Amino acid sequence: METNGETRTTWTFLTNHARVLSLIARDPGVRLRDVATACGLTERAVQAIVADLEAGGYLTRSREGRRNRYRITPDTLLRHPAESGRTVASLLGLLQDSPAAGSRDDTSGPHRDAAAH
């Protein structure tokens, strides 16, 4: 507990894996260099996260010309027991809706389209 009146700003709600997955869902053709910049990570760290996500079945990657294209696997279940039964699609829906829309119990919208590409 902080007693000097300062707030703690060193923690965040999302993991780097969640951030990377969310950015890829928004733009399946995104360059990992751009993901790294947006997340404040090194490109090598993002490459390792993408490899983790791919190994876990959360996304697949394919080559289109000189670029990679990513496809989110929306029905993959989240790993932690606290999120038992929750899917990647439900996480992305929460992260990609506007705050006002975040309270809706709606599974339609742009995040579903991005997750399917």
- Please report, for the chain, the start and end positions of each structural domain, with discontinuous segments joined by +: 16-116
The pLDDT tens digits for 38-85 are 999 999 999 999 999 999 999 999 999 999 999 999 999 999 999 999
Of 104 and 68, the structure prediction assigns the larger pLDDT to 68
Span between the terminal Cα atoms of the chain, in Å: 44
Measure Cα distances from 35 to 26, 38, 59, 77 in Å: 11, 5, 15, 23
Q: How would residue 100 be classed by pLDDT, with cut points 50, 70 and 90?
A: very low
16-116 has which fold?
Arc Repressor Mutant, subunit A (1.10.10)
